[in-house]
């Protein structure tokens, strides 16, 4: 056995150990936790990630700056826009054109970001309700979540991977007709989210599962570099939209909710508030969309001079940071991605200690784990040596073929 | 279809009237996974066709697999497949599972799901819409029914 | 000790005796170069004097002159914005061994494991230096993101290794 054997402590700290994962009804994604348990209390936690690691970085080797945009969108299916956005902005900083992006494009970027945050938060609290045995709420939130997906489909043409960004702006404009179509839907959604908030904040048994469970103190949140709603539920104001503003966020009026308890209920109430605020922000940005229709992108040179660019954005799960380095060619020299889930794992391991076994599913859920982003994302790295025949044309023809065939069932 | 031949009519009826569906993430990006969950929830509601979501592959007739299959998951995927009761069907959901998509030449994947499991149906799309997933499952059920009927007639 | 709330990143860099190297276009991005022997000193000073608690990640870059370890430290400025002090430590390619910053910033524990896994940077005094993301069957001499190995090569080695394991099981 090599030195990378799954990490099971040699001297058990508890009575017995429970291994959960990689495939388990609690997990929607493969990740393995090993709990050392004393009675019902967790004494020690070890985790093995990497089940989703597919080395995307080496696939980037033959890609140009623009082709990489579509890979960046496939880092994660839930926060695809955030990753693509961070990559596009890092590349813009690298090419020194970041300040020249048209204002209309910046507003459209805000709209898509906020719509994505709404759908991601709704997804999260629906699944949390499912994990705590409140299935009615799960179905209600997922029914209403379809409204956001519809809006995103109106704007971008797709429900999940929007592919709205390009280096130097956005790819699609939002027309006046679309705005008049979308705003009533958002107002309708706001009423429904208000209702979700009322139900969730008043259901005693649901709250009892969450209050004072897995508390993360402010000091610990800072010590373990927690990000996003996880840290804000522990009263760390780390919203990148405020502390390191990007695109049009400094022109839009919004509040950042904070919570000081650091328990699961804090995370829930914070995300419910954020959903409502994001709906307001999206309406505000849609109503004040500046500039002329069509003025949504600037031309970018195919080659970028040697330079480095770093950009963080507030993804639904927290700070998402991308770093790119160019070497003067058509392809990036290095691309490093740090997904928000990755930053929240140390604090998750810390707060699982001392919890009850029955609380494991909601506690894991509280950081909104997205193992897909966390593990496929590492570095992107360009070599001069030719190694892969994976050109854009090849992929496009393959995809087109698959779509032409439609759903296909093999003959028995 | 060969595996269906030895089964009684009751098993075939149970399978095709109410397939128990499971979901296995073989290294996907969550895009297909949330569309599978969306297919189960009220707007699309795959339960109209009798399909019920199960937590573990040991209870499943149809396993919806997403993702290209990573090297780390490969032995686990095989083991989970062995745990499924007969007759069993694998559906590859999404372009990654069907063809490898953008991951076919990356170093730590197996290329596509075909390289690990015998896949019965392919649902392309990145990600496929919930309607496509429902369509795939329904087509699979229809074909299973037809196959069983043909076998029956042969035996008669 | 009283924490020093800096007015600008220039002030921080001056206190650390570092000079800016980027073209000064973006006020909250501040790139500086340093060498790996100053890592502990810089980290301790940032933490104790300027109250830095957030380090986003560890970026490793394989270049001809060596490995570049890049730490983006978030410095809280007096207008409550967070500036990024991006410190680039140069590490020798032949012996990539550096001091771990995990004792100072426990949040870096898995970021440094990732750097070890992907690039083979060994961190001294790291509490738990194991590989993190690569499969169990990854041969111990392969660090996938180094420039001296191609994806094809890694793929071939992994396939061989997986086949061997399967035969062993049967």
The total of other beta-carbon atoms located within 10 Å of residue B26's CB is 29
d(Cα A71, Cα A68) in Å, to the nearest integer?
5
Query: What values do phi and psi take at B103, rounded to 5?
Result: -105, 5
**Using 50, 70 and 90 to split pLDDT, how confident is the model at B8?**
low
CB A93, CB C29: distance < 8 Å: yes
Could you read off the pLDDT of A258-275 as tens digits, one per residue? 988 889 899 899 999 999
For the stretch A184-236, pLDDT in tens is: 999 999 999 999 999 999 989 889 888 888 899 999 999 999 999 999 999 99
* Closest Cα in chain B, distance from residue A400 (Å): 10
Q: Please state the domain count of chain B.
A: 1
Q: How confident is the model at residue A47 (pLDDT cuts 50, 70, 90)?
A: confident
Name, in order, each residue with C-beta under 8 angstroms of A286's C-beta and a sequence gap of 6 or more. Answer: A111, A174, A179, A182, A183, A186
**Contact residues, chain A, for B37 at CB < 8 Å:** 28, 142
pLDDT at C141 over 70: yes
- Residue B92 within a domain: yes
Q: Residue A370: list chain B partners with CB under 8 A.
A: 30
Sign of the C-alpha dihedral computed for residues C148, C150, C153 and C158 taken in this order? positive
Pick the most confident of B11-25, B47-61, B132-146, C63-77: C63-77
A299-313 confidence digits (pLDDT tens): 888 888 999 999 999
Q: Which of B57, B70, B124 sits opposite A53 (nearest CB)?
A: B70
pLDDT grade, residue A399 (50/70/90)? very low
Q: Do residues B106 and C151 lie in contact, with contact meaning Cβ atoms separated by under 8 Å? A: yes
Q: And the tokens for A305?
A: 């001079």
Would you say residue A396 has pLDDT above 80? no
For residue B128, being part of any structural domain is answered with yes
Tokens of C114: 């990732």
- The pLDDT score that the predictor gives to residue A395 is 42
| pLDDT confidence tier of residue B156, bands split at 50, 70 and 90 | low
| Residue A236: Cβ-neighbour burial (10 angstroms; 0-12, 13-18, 19+) | buried
Angle formed at CA A281 by CA A280 and CA A286, multiple of 5 degrees:
100
19-78 in chain A: CB under 8 A from chain B:
22-23, 25, 28-30, 50-56, 58-59, 70-71, 74-78
- Residue B60 in any domain: the answer is yes
Q: What is the DSSP string of B89-128?
A: EEEEESHHHHH-GGGTT-TTB-SSGGGTS---EEE-SSSP
> Domain segments of chain A: what residues?
1-51, 56-381
pLDDT score of A392 = 40
pLDDT over 90 percentage in chain B: 10
Q: Which domain holds residue B75?
A: 24-146
The answer to whether C107 and A225 are in contact (CB under 8 A) is yes
Distance CA B39, CA C38 (A): 55
pLDDT band at A406 (very low <50, low <70, confident <90, very high): very low
Contacts of A172 (CB under 8 A, 6+ apart): A155, A156, A157, A164, A296
Query: What rounded mean pLDDT belongs to chain A?
Result: 83
- pLDDT tens for residues B30-50? 888 889 989 988 899 888 888
**Test the B interface: residue of C117, C136, C149, C158 with most B CBs within 10 Å:** C158
Q: Please report, for residues A2, A156, A177, B34, the alpha-carbon distance to residue A186 in angstroms, rounded to integers and kept in the order given.
A: 54, 16, 15, 22
**CB-count exposure of residue A153 (10 Å: 0-12, 13-18, 19+):** middle
Does C134 contact chain A (CB < 8 Å)? yes
Residues with Cβ within 8 Å of A188's Cβ and at least 6 positions away in sequence, in order, are: A147
More confident residue, A391 or A253: A253
DSSP A184-220: HHHHHHHHHHHHHHHHHHH-HHHHHTTTTSS---HHH
Q: Which CATH architecture has domain A56-381?
A: Orthogonal Bundle (1.10)
What CATH number has the domain bearing residue B97? 3.40.50.12280
If you average pLDDT over every residue of chain C, what do you get? 89
Q: Which helix (H) or strand (E) holds C90?
A: strand C82-91
Return mean pLDDT, chain B. 84
Q: Is residue B82 part of a domain?
A: yes
The answer to whether residue B89 sits within a structural domain is: yes
- Strand, helix or coil at A42? strand
> Would you say the C-alpha torsion A201, A204, A208, A209 has a positive or negative sign?
negative
| Residues of chain C numbered 151-170 and touching chain B (CB < 8 Å) | 151-152, 154-155, 158, 162, 165
| Per-residue pLDDT reduced to its tens digit, A7-18 | 455 555 567 888
Q: How far is CA A229 from the centre of its chain?
A: 12
> pLDDT for C4-57, tens place per residue?
888 888 899 999 999 998 878 888 889 999 988 898 999 999 999 998 999 989
**HSE-CB for A350 with a 13 A CA cutoff:** 23
DSSP-derived 3-state class of residue A244: coil
Q: Selecting from 3.30.460.80, 3.10.20.340, 3.20.20.70, 3.30.110.40, what CATH number does the domain C9-132 have? A: 3.30.460.80
């Amino acid at each position: 056995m090599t030195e990378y054997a799954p990490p099971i402590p040699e001297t058990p700290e508890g009575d017995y150990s429970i291994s959960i994962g990689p495939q388990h009804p609690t997990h929607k994604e493969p990740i393995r936790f090993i709990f050392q348990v004393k009675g019902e209390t967790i004494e020690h936690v070890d985790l093995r990630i990497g089940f989703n690691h597919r080395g995307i970085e080496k696939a980037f080797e033959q890609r140009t700056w623009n082709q990489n945009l579509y890979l960046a969108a496939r880092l994660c299916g839930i926060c695809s826009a955030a990753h693509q956005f961070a990559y596009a902005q890092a590349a813009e900083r690298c090419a020194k054109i970041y300040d020249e992006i048209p204002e209309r494009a910046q507003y459209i970027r805000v709209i898509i970001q906020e719509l994505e945050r709404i759908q991601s938060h709704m997804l999260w609290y629906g699944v949390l309700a499912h994990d705590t045995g409140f299935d009615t709420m799960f179905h209600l939130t997922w029914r209403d979540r379809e409204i956001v997906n519809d809006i995103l489909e109106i704007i971008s043409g797709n429900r999940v991977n929007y592919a709205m960004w390009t280096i130097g702006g956005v790819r699609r404009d939002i027309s006046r007709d679309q705005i008049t179509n979308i705003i009533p839907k958002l107002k309708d959604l706001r009423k429904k989210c208000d209702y979700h908030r009322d139900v969730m904040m008043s259901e005693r048994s649901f709250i009892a599962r969450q209050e004072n469970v897995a508390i993360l103190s402010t000091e610990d949140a800072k010590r373990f570099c927690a990000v996003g709603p996880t840290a804000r539920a522990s009263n760390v104001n780390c919203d990148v939209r405020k502390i390191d503003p990007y695109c049009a966020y400094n022109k839009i009026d919004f509040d950042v909710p904070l919570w000081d308890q650091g328990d699961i209920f804090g995370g829930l109430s914070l995300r419910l508030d954020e959903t409502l605020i994001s709906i307001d922000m999206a309406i505000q940005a849609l109503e004040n969309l500046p500039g002329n229709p069509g003025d949504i992108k600037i031309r970018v040179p195919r080659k970028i001079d040697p330079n480095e660019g770093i950009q963080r954005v507030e993804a639904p799960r927290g700070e998402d940071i991308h770093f790119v380095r160019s070497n003067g060619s058509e392809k990036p020299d290095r691309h490093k991605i740090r997904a928000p889930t990755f930053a929240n794992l140390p604090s998750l391991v810390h707060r699982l200690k001392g919890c009850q076994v029955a609380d494991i599913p909601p506690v894991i859920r509280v950081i909104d784990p997205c193992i897909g982003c966390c593990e496929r994302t590492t570095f992107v790295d360009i070599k001069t040596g030719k190694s892969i025949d994976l050109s854009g044309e090849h992929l496009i023809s393959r995809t087109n073929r698959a779509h032409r065939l439609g759903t296909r069932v093999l003959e028995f | 279809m060969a595996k269906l031949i030895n089964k009684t009519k009751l098993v075939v009826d149970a399978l095709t009237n109410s397939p128990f569906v499971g979901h296995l993430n073989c290294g996907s990006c969550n895009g297909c996974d949330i569309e599978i969950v969306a297919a189960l929830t009220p707007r699309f509601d795959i339960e109209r066709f009798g399909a019920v979501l199960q937590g573990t592959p040991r209870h499943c007739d149809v396993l919806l697999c997403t993702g290209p299959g990573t090297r780390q998951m490969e032995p686990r995927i095989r083991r989970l497949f062995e745990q499924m009761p007969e007759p069993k069907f694998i559906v590859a959901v999404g372009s990654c599972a069907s063809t490898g998509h953008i991951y076919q030449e990356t170093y730590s994947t197996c290329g596509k799901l075909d390289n690990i499991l015998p896949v019965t149906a392919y649902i392309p799309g990145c990600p496929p819409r919930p309607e496509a997933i429902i369509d795939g499952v329904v087509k699979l059920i229809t074909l299973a029914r037809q196959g069983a009927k043909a076998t029956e007639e042969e035996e008669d | 000790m009283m924490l020093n709330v800096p007015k600008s990143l220039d002030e921080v860099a001056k206190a650390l005796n570092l000079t800016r190297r980027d073209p000064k276009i973006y006020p909250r991005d501040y790139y500086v170069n340093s060498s790996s022997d100053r890592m502990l000193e810089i980290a301790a000073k940032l933490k104790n004097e300027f109250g830095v608690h957030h380090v986003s990640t560890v970026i490793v870059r394989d270049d001809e002159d060596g490995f570049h370890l890049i730490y983006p430290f978030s410095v809280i400025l007096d207008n409550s914005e967070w500036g990024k002090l991006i410190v680039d430590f140069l590490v020798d390619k032949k012996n990539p061994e550096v001091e771990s910053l995990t004792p100072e910033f426990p949040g870096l524990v898995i970021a440094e494991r990732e750097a070890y896994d992907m690039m083979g940077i060994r961190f001294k005094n790291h509490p738990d230096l194991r590989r993190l993301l690569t499969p169990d069957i990854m041969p111990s001499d392969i660090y996938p993101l180094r420039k001296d190995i191609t994806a094809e090569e890694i793929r071939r080695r992994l396939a061989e290794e997986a086949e061997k394991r399967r035969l062993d099981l049967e």
